[in-house]
Amino acid sequence: MTKKDHRLTTSWGAPVGDNQNSITAGSRGPTLIQDVHLLEKLAHFNRERIPERVVHAKGAGAHGYFEVTNDLSKYTKAKFLSEVGKKTPMFIRFSTVAGELGSADTVRDPRGFAVKFYTEDGNYDLVGNNTPVFFIRDAIKFPDFIHTQKRDPKTHLKNPNAVWDFWSLSPESLHQVTILMSDRGIPATFRHMNGYGSHTFKWTNAEGESVWVKYHFKTDQGIKNLDVNLAAKLAGENPDYHTEDLYNAIENGDYPSWTLKVQIMPLEDAETYRFDPFDVTKVWSQKDYPLIEVGKMVLNRNPENYFAEVEQATFSPGTLVPGIDVSPDKMLQGRLFAYHDAHRYRVGTNHQLLPINRPINGINNYQRDGSMRFDDNGGGSVYYEPNSYDGPKETPENKQAEYAVSGVAASTSYDHHDHYTQAGDLYRLMNKEERERLVSNIVAAMKPVEKEEIKLRQIRHFYKADPEYGTKVAEGLGLKVPTDEEVLA
Ligand code: HDE
């Protein structure tokens, strides 16, 4: 091992003679353009930032491992899930959704829960949130929804009118809005919240038999949430409170862990279940499909370098391995395009070559070139397929499992619109104090809304979920619960 060279160098490796003084004519200048070290330093400095994520910009990451505790190979041939005791390295990135890169951690917002498993069969990304459902159920509405969560283009301020206007006109959001406005809207730390795949995915075993699956990461630290006043105080005093907590816990050897469980639905049940099991605004009853343990995820190593490992990490629900596949869920389908498209724009064409994103089993294909192709670019190996030069071959046993699809190609909405039962069930699951805090959070968030019609429309939705729910919010806002006719008038 060559002795580490302690000489300060330029980015082309030449030793630097003086890093304190620019090269100038005399002590008073002017500065000479021939000071290429100065030019390089200033030019590189101007290019240190890459675009922040368009959502989930503020985040924190950690390395760890996943260990199988229950053999579910009867459901999936995914190798990393194949035998009890098997350990797979993984990386996770937690995040908020709406805030910019420098925004506060302790805001009311869903939290991203993005896991990358570096398996022997390639990377598997489970890109979820800390809530089992989502606000919308068709990808086409996502840009509009996120616009309402971000800054008003005129004032550059957050705009509660936009937020509640969108939600009151998209009643499918009611279940997730209830979760967001409840205690779980502000987790105490990233360690004290659950993670979910949210969508329905598909597992296929070695015999080609498939089931539908939903993922639940149950925190082993127990669920803890922040009091709204403490959260507001922390947002001002220490906007990186969750980031710091995660880093220090791991630094101190207090390794957080989650138990991964799944719900398994037989393929044919999807045709007869009481609502569309691919609708990501709904949860499956755990009485119908009980939780089954899979394994344990332990975070035991902090990133060495935030930019290299967290800012450059790229996840996608389309990063799948044999034995795991997607469902027809329209949100999930939309995400299959969006994520790698975002990464090609934000990080670069060859983002998957970066150390944090590179699969441990290597990349063996005919893709070549593209900007920043910093590996050997396939060297002199055969660069097309099919070929007679023993290049990498496809393996038919790893084809995506087939399944029947049907229907007319058209812009079609879901064929059921019960947006109220599960939101109402959640409200009725809460104890008295939890309901009071939920209503108080909603009233505080809705008070600044200018248009009364927006408030009334939203109150009607809460009322349809549960009469007490809607009545309490209306009282808090000094309004009456409107009838459907009044809302539609
Ligand atoms: Fe995302 N989402 N998303 N999202 N999402 C991104 O990828 C998108 C959705 C989630 O730590 C983006 O690199 C669309 C649901 C997480 O790096 C982008 C739709 C869920 C993260 C994107 C959704 C998520 C992202 C932004 C509607 C939970 C952070 C920049 C169809 C199940 C991952 C980027 C990380 C990031 C698109 C909805 C979770 C733009 C189009 C539902 C945890 O690609």
- Counting from 1 in the atom list of ligand 1, the atom nearest the Cα of 314 is 17
Give 133's DSSP letter.
Answer: S
338, 340, 344, 349: CA torsion to nearest 10: -150
pLDDT for 1 equals 46
pLDDT score, position 54: 98
Nearest CA to ligand 1 atom 24: 128
Confidence (pLDDT) at 2:
57
Strands 112-119 and 257-266: unpaired
Angle, helix 452-465 to helix 174-181, in steps of 10 degrees: 90
How many angstroms separate the alpha carbon of residue 251 from the centre of ligand 1? 28
- The minimum-distance atom of ligand 1 relative to the CA of 112 is 43
Taking the CA of residue 44 as centre, how many other CA atoms within 13 Å lie in the half-sphere pointing to its CB? 8
Of 37, 56, 192, 461, catalytic: 56
Ligand 1 atom nearest 139 alpha carbon: 31
Q: What is the mean pLDDT of residues 79-88?
A: 97
143 Cα nearest atom in ligand 1: 41
Q: Is 56 a catalytic residue?
A: yes
Q: What is the pLDDT of residue 488?
A: 78
Q: Residue 336 corresponds to which amino acid?
A: L
Residue of 164, 153, 159, 124 lying closest to 317 (CA atoms): 124
Question: With pLDDT > 90 as the criterion, what percentage of the chain qualifies?
Answer: 96
pLDDT at 403: 85
Q: How far is the CA of 339 from the centre of ligand 1 (A)?
A: 7
- Among 11-20, 116-125, 265-274, 402-411, the minimum mean pLDDT is found in 402-411
Residue of 335, 346, 352, 354 to mutate, ligand 1, most atoms within 8 A of C-beta: 335
Ligand 1 mean position, distance from CA 313 (Å) = 13
Whole-angstrom Cα distance, residue 37 to residue 246? 38
Q: What contacts 24+ positions apart, CB below 8 Å, involve 69-73?
A: 69/259, 69/293, 69/294, 69/295, 69/296, 70/292, 70/293, 70/294, 70/295, 72/203, 72/262, 72/292, 72/294, 73/205, 73/206
Task: Give 37 Cα–ligand 1 centroid separation in angstroms.
Answer: 40
- What does the pLDDT read at residue 183? 98
Q: Averaged over 470-474, what is the pLDDT?
A: 98
Q: How far is the CA of 198 from the centre of ligand 1 (A)?
A: 12
Task: Give pLDDT, residue 487.
Answer: 84
Ligand 1 nearest atom to the CA of residue 342, by list position:
44
Closest atom, ligand 1, to C-alpha of 332: 31
Name the residue of 52, 53, 54, 55 to mutate for ligand 1: max ligand atoms within 8 A of Cβ. 55
Out of 50, 54, 56, 351, mutate this one to test ligand 1's pocket (max ligand atoms within 8 Å of CB): namely: 56
Q: How far apart are CA 362 and CA 357, in angstroms?
A: 11
Neighbours of 463 (CB within 10 A): 23
Query: Model confidence over 317-375: pLDDT tens digits?
Result: 999 999 999 999 999 999 999 999 999 999 999 999 999 999 999 999 999 999 999 99
Q: Give the closest residue (by CA) to ligand 1 atom 20.
A: 128
pLDDT at 357: 98
For residues 32-37, average pLDDT: 98
User: For ligand 1, atom 7, which residue shows the shortest CA distance?
Assistant: 339
List residues near ligand 1 (CB under 6 A).
53-56, 59, 93, 95, 112, 114, 127-129, 134, 139, 142, 198, 280, 313, 315, 331, 334-335, 338-339, 342-343
Mean pLDDT within 191-217 = 98
Distance 127 CA to ligand 1 centre (A): 7
414-448 pLDDT per residue, tens: 988 899 999 999 999 999 999 999 999 999 999 99
Domains of the chain, earliest start first: 59-133+186-359 (2.40.180.10), 421-488 (no CATH)
Q: Is the pLDDT of residue 485 over 50?
A: yes
pLDDT, one tens digit per residue, over 92-107 is 999 999 999 999 999 9
Q: Using 50, 70 and 90 to split pLDDT, how confident is the model at 3?
A: low
Gap from CA of 109 to ligand 1 centroid (Å): 14
Instruction: Report the amino acid identity of residue 346.
Output: R
Residue in 37, 63, 123, 129 annotated catalytic: 129
Q: Measured in angstroms, how far is the CA atom of residue 142 from the centroid of ligand 1?
A: 10
Which residue owns the Cα nearest ligand 1 atom 43?
Answer: 112
Q: 174-181 and 421-429 are packed helices; what angle lies between their axes, rounded to 10 degrees?
A: 20
Residue 173: predicted pLDDT? 98
Model confidence band, residue 202 (pLDDT cutoffs 50, 70, 90): very high
